[in-house]
Amino acid sequence: MIRRFKIIGSIKTAVLDFIAPLCCPVCSRQLRPSGRCLYCRLPDWRQVRRQLRSDSAGLYLILTGGEYQGDMERLVRAFKYQRDPAALSLLADQAVLTLPEGLCWDALIPVPAHPVRIRERGEAITRRLAQEIGNRTGIAVSSPLRRTRYTKTLTGLGAAERREVLQHVLEVEVISGNLLLVDDVFTTGATFNACRRKLLAAGATGVDLLAVAKTPPNRQGRH
Ligand SMILES: [Zn+2]
């Protein structure tokens, strides 16, 4: 039965590819059947960055798919504001490229958006990304984090202000295992650090970050 569903699923994908092929959000050309854009060279492993950092709670990884500018910025904006399925697909592929071979995580944890903002945007951006990455890697998606109070957008705030705003707004369920937080754009790290602290206190053995893009230093505070 499951096999039948899989066959029906792949026929549906093939038909959709034929009648409504995905087009690259950057150059508008049709994506290859593999989901790549050969003209824009996306996804692009050369943009991938992997950083090992440490703090008093131990070592952690910051994995980013590229700088938030140029083509990557266009892709993120096409996904966030136009819900472009091709942009989501390219971003998920780019995110998967950042995962080092030989490492594994027990769950993907979307960085939580406030419920009000989820309603505004239809669904949480980070949850869609995490699901798409989960489909490609087989890692389960879990959502133990919640924002408890409405916060204004963090756009334009500096690191200290972000820390202050985030300190009291996150709520977490009990969780275990080695976790990979998923975010769209990594800026100062304040959101990640607040989530990481909460997850470690709730029982996680390790928390790393995967963000599809990273704000370049000269643009921090503007995004
Ligand atoms: Zn393209």
pLDDT, tens only, 92-110: 999 999 999 999 999 999 9
Ion ligand 1: protein residues whose beta carbon lies under 5 Å: 24, 26-27, 37, 39-40
Q: What is the value of pTM for the model shown?
A: 0.83
Q: Higher confidence at residue 133 or residue 150? A: 133
pLDDT tier, 123 (very low <50, low <70, confident <90, very high otherwise)? low
Distance 138 CA to ligand 1 centre (A): 27
What is the rounded CA–CA span in Å between residue 223 and residue 66?
15
Ligand 1 centroid–CA 31 distance in Å is 7
Ligand 1 center to 71 CA (angstroms):
9
CA distance 76 to 213: 8
Residues 6+ apart with CB under 8 A from 172: 144, 145, 146, 198, 199, 201, 202
Q: Separation of 140 CA from ligand 1 center, angstroms?
A: 30
